[in-house]
Amino acid sequence: MFKALIERLKQGFKTGKFPMRGEPNLPPDFRGRPEIDDDTSGDEVEKMKAVCPVKGALSFDFEGAKLDMGKCIFCGRCAEVCDKIRFTKEYRLAVFNRADLVVKAGDHDYVPPKQTNPQALALKHTFQLREVSAGGCAGCELDANVLGTLAWDMGRFGIRFVASPRHADAIYLTGPISKNMQLALDKTYAAAPEPKFLIAAGACAITGGLYKHGHLPDTPAMFIPGCPPHPATTLEALCRFTGRL
């Protein structure tokens, strides 16, 4: 026991300052919210669409070029073939409305959202999540599970994953909802007590991403884009959802 205490003192404080006392330490190759120049032409969009692995992620209409973060897997191929689009270091990507995931050309004055979910504000002490991997590749699941480690420690905000949907305030959905997982997802969501929320994390859960999308049991209360969403993106989203920031 004495040796364990000494080792603990040597190791010091391991939890990062984010999100209460500083910004996250993002990797050099981190791709956050994209920006598109307002003079991007239809031909340039077609050039980007030719290398984009996700159908419908990029589009062009009378408003100009658009990129749907709900479909985008943030691979960066579009930015490699066209300098009219770039990925910033903005990690605060989660939104409450699906339409807000669409980035339009010329939208450079992005203000990170600060709104919370009014119904979730009642969850002052704990926010319990039941994770459902509905056919995912494990990328979103691993980057969500890392939030329970010392480095991120989402438990300090009363946020944790639980084993049973009957103990959950929200279902944290990842994966494109494969045919074999549809019934399991529906039953899990039905087992959660009211009031309950559905949080769609990752391109697969939001739109199917690279795959065909299954049927959501309810309209998500929050969308967290990414492939997978970075832990900083997820932690900021969950804290903001319940007004903990």
167-217: pLDDT as tens digits: 999 999 999 999 999 999 999 999 999 999 999 999 999 999 999 999 999
- Asked if 230 and 143 count as a contact pair (C-beta separation under 8 A), the reply is yes
**What number is the average pLDDT over the span 160-169?**
96
> Which of these CATH numbers, 3.40.50.12280, 2.40.50.100, 3.40.109.10, 3.40.50.300, describes 118-241?
3.40.50.12280
pLDDT at position 13 is 63
d(CA 104, CA 16): 33
Q: Maximum CA pair distance of the chain?
A: 70
Higher local confidence (pLDDT), 111 or 173: 173
Please give the model's pTM, rounded to 2 decimal places.
Answer: 0.92
- Ranges of H-type helices in 42-193: 42-51, 77-81, 139-145, 179-191
Phi, psi (deg, nearest 5) at residue 110: -70, 130
Write out pLDDT tens, residues 69-88. 999 999 999 999 999 999 99
Boundaries of every domain in the chain: 118-241
As a whole number of angstroms, the distance between CA 12 and CA 150 comes to: 11
What tokens does 40 get? Answer: 């991007």
Query: Which residues touch 161 (CB under 8 Å, ≥6 apart)?
Result: 128, 129, 130, 131, 144, 145, 148, 172
Band of pLDDT at residue 12, cut at 50, 70 and 90: low
Q: What confidence tens digit (pLDDT) does each residue in 21-44 have?
A: 889 999 999 999 999 999 999 999
Structural tokens at position 190: 């039905």
- Segment 55-80 mean pLDDT: 96
Written as one letter, the residue type at 93 is: L
For 7-45, b/e burial (b = at least 16 CB within 10 A) is eeeeeeeeebebbeeeebebeeebbbbbbbbeebeeebb
168-179 burial, b at 16+ Cβ within 10 Å, e below that, comes to: bbbbbbbbbbbe
Q: Is 164 left (phi over 0), alpha (psi -120 to 50) or beta?
A: beta
Length of the chain in residues, anyone? 245
pLDDT for the residue numbered 31:
97
Residue 175 CA neighbour count, 13 Å, CB half: 21
CA 97 to chain centre: 13
